[in-house]
Amino acid sequence: MPDLLTHVLVGYSIGTLLAVRYERVRAAQVTLVMVGALSPDFRKIAPVIPTGPLELVTGGPISWTPLHTLGGSVLVVLLGSLLVAPDYRRQTIVLTAIGAASHHVLDVALLTATGDAYAVFFPISAYRPPSPDLYLSTDRWPAAVAGVLAIGSWAVRRDSTTETLRPSD
């Protein structure tokens, strides 16, 4: 679970810093980056939604694993954008894609037995980029670092908000 927490905290940090930089990004949109950062791990839904009934309907095998690739992220981002009003779709796509990209960047850095990351570019390519082998998904220190980053981005956002609310001298 430290892995999920790390992705959420990094998504929060990125979204909060985007909110500081761009006026159109508000607190509600920060949540979109956080959801995007979790979206590749939607493949972990397998225990909740059994594939048996879906396989009967489709007539073929079903796997949730491709959701953890670039193609799966694009699919989730585009389908997720259909859940918002048409005026907000472009912003939803961009912010959730930023979150999903942060997830993939963090996961490519995971320590693996082979020294190669997963096929992140599937279905475009089966290439497995070399992993810098920085940490395990069970390590707690990345979540601690992400927590410090989240607190720092929260403080930056708070300072920028209070600065704009102060009366001019």
> What pLDDT does 146 receive?
95
What is the arithmetic mean of pLDDT over 78-102? 96
| Residue 46 vs residue 24, higher pLDDT | 24
| pLDDT at position 168 over 60 | no
> What pLDDT does 150 receive?
95
What is the arithmetic mean of pLDDT over 4-20? 95
Q: Quote the CA–CA distance of 56 and 54 in Å, as a whole number.
A: 5
| Residue 143 vs residue 137, higher pLDDT | 143
135 touches 142 (CB < 8 A): yes
Q: Quote the CA–CA distance of 136 and 153 in Å, as a whole number.
A: 25
The fraction of the chain above a pLDDT of 90, given in percent, is 55
Q: Quote the CA–CA distance of 162 and 84 in Å, as a whole number.
A: 30
Q: Quote the CA–CA distance of 100 and 93 in Å, as a whole number.
A: 10
Q: How confident is the model at residue 140 (pLDDT cuts 50, 70, 90)?
A: very high
